[in-house]
């Protein structure tokens, strides 16, 4: 290691004496952009170390704060196969980001020693950023960290987070595709065109798309150059306004209405991305009522379709869906009883979902917020690509599956790829969004927060669905749930603030609300609530 180069980089990106502590979690680093300069330089250092640790494989570094407000920014690292950074390295990221400038070289040497990194190995880092004004300066800080450790930097410029994941995967696995943004566009377009041909469609698919004033608009415009004979997309919040302000997937999910500058009229098929285009949701209105098609719905649509194709082709595939405790109970029931697909539950967080999905030949996972994808094992891909069916129906089913494996970005949740997947399935099944919504009815649910003195007193198990501490809280929840029909409730500590999150669902809106407030009261009583005891408004 060139210690002098590291010292020089640290001098150019000094950590303030009163710097706020930052932690690397599932979303990477994420906070106010104006305090991230020294953090991004050190993330660049870590990316170079990670690349060498993985034998010189390309590592991704995306500068984004996703659905956060525009003044925020952040960074996340991407591992060689396009997956999220290995959890054990999150502690290294946090240590590097928070150490004093004169401790930086020592911390780097500790990581080198603990991980057995050969510093003679070449390193490569793929750099990308979203449309935030702070991104260019922070990318330069990251680049300085990379070059201080002698890493080659591939700068993609303004791209979606999933495109960085894609390019990293391609650089390390040539069979996955061409390692450029153009290669990404061409792969998705070719797959969608194949599905269009299978469906025999002639008229345009019309969509209204909310791009959250983010990078999704930039990249969709490029993709539509390949698909303008198939898709007619009216784009709203396409960069002319403030990023994620009263628009985007998170806003629409929480507010349960169309974003600013966009209306959802009768017959409109509406889609919304988040700021870095790794989440997607659908919505429409009927008789003035707003209908949301969230991640649970996308997961159900995809899993049922893949299962039906496998059955039609007489193809033996172990297909499963991975959910969190927040998945609507009726989506789980639909998958298990009507779609005939097993469902597993994991802790909240995409990394947990993705890891569990790898247990299946075909693993489908989406969080309710619209972040998710479908992963195919190597064995499943081999079966799909080599299988021959004797019937015309089977041959068509295999052709559809093959096209889907190319259309889906298997590395990570991808708003653009997932939107095309949904459109492909609706097209092949001759379904409308209203048909999709009619697959099952969501159970009414309510989510609340309870302020407590110390969130660490609340412990959970069974994928966060059961509470093991404080004593008596789970039994109190169980007794409350018994009073309502088709009801369930769970509580879990927040990962970022001293609050406990409460989830409740039941057969009616009134029952769900009543249950949620009653559980919130028990949390306040038994877990050290502060402020006023929660009560229904």
What are the chain's domains?
3-158 (3.40.120.10), 183-291 (3.40.120.10), 295-421 (3.40.120.10), 445-526 (3.30.310.50)
The catalytic site residues sit at 66
pLDDT given at position 349 = 85
pLDDT given at position 255 = 85
pLDDT given at position 265 = 87
Residues that constitute the known binding site for Mg(2+) = 66, 274, 276, 278
pLDDT given at position 498 = 81
pLDDT given at position 70 = 87
C-beta separation of 12 from 158 below 8 A: no
Residues that constitute the known binding site = 66, 274, 276, 278, 367-369, 492-496, 501
pLDDT given at position 408 = 97
pLDDT given at position 27 = 83
In the numeric block, which tokens belong to residue 277?
């285009």
The list of the chain residues with pLDDT below 50 reads none
C-beta separation of 517 from 536 below 8 A: yes
Instruction: Specify the pTM.
Output: 0.92
pLDDT given at position 167 = 98
pLDDT given at position 377 = 96
């Amino acid at each position: 290691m060139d210690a002098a180069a590291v010292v020089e980089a640290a001098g150019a990106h000094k950590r303030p004496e009163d710097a706020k502590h930052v932690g690397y979690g599932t979303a990477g680093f994420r906070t106010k952009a104006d305090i991230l300069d020294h953090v991004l330089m050190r993330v660049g250092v870590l990316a170079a170390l990670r690349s060498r640790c993985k034998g010189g494989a390309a590592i991704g570094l995306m500068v984004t704060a996703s659905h956060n407000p525009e003044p925020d920014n952040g960074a996340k690292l991407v591992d060689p196969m396009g997956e999220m950074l290995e959890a054990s390295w999150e502690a290294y990221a946090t240590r590097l980001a928070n150490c004093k400038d004169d401790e930086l070289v020592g911390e780097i040497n500790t990581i080198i020693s603990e991980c057995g990194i050969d510093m003679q190995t070449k390193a490569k880092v793929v750099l990308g950023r979203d449309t935030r004004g702070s991104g260019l300066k922070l990318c330069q800080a990251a680049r300085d960290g990379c070059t201080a450790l002698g890493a080659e930097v591939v700068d993609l410029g303004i791209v979606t987070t999933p495109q960085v994941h894609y390019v990293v995967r391609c650089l390390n696995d040539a069979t996955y595709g061409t390692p450029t943004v153009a290669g990404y566009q061409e792969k998705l377009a070719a797959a969608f065109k194949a599905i269009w041909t299978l469906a025999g469609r002639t008229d345009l698919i019309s969509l209204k798309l909310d791009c959250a004033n983010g990078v999704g608009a930039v990249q969709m415009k490029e993709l539509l150059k390949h698909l303008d004979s198939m898709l007619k997309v009216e784009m709203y919040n396409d960069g002319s306004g403030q990023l994620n302000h009263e628009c985007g997937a998170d806003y629409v999910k929480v507010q349960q209405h169309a974003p600013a500058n966009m209306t959802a009229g009768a017959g409109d098929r509406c889609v919304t991305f988040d700021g870095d285009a790794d989440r997607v949701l659908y919505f429409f209105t009927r008789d003035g009522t707003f209908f949301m098609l969230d991640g649970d719905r996308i997961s159900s649509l995809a899993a049922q379709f893949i299962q039906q194709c496998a059955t039609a082709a007489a193809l033996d595939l172990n297909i499963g869906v991975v959910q969190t405790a927040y998945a609507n109970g009726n989506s789980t029931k639909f998958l298990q009883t009507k779609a005939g697909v097993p469902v597993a539950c994991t802790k909240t967080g995409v990394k947990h979902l993705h890891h569990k999905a790898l247990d299946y030949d075909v693993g489908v996972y989406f969080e309710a917020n619209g972040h998710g994808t479908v992963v195919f094992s190597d064995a499943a891909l081999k079966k799909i690509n080599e299988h021959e069916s004797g019937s015309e129906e089977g041959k068509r089913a295999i052709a559809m599956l093959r096209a889907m494996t190319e259309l889906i970005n298997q590395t990570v949740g991808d708003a653009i790829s997932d939107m095309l997947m949904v459109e492909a399935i609706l097209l092949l099944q001759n379904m409308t969004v209203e048909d999709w919504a009619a697959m099952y009815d969501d159970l009414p649910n309510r989510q609340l927060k309870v302020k407590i003195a110390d969130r660490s007193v609340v412990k959970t198990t069974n994928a966060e669905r059961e509470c093991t501490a404080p004593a008596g809280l789970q039994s109190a929840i169980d007794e409350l749930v018994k009073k309502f029909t088709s009801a369930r409730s769970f509580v879990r500590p927040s990962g970022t603030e001293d609050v406990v999150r409460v989830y409740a669902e039941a057969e009616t809106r009134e029952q769900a609300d009543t249950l949620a407030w009653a559980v919130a009261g028990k949390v306040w009583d038994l877990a050290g609530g502060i402020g006023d005891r929660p009560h229904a408004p």
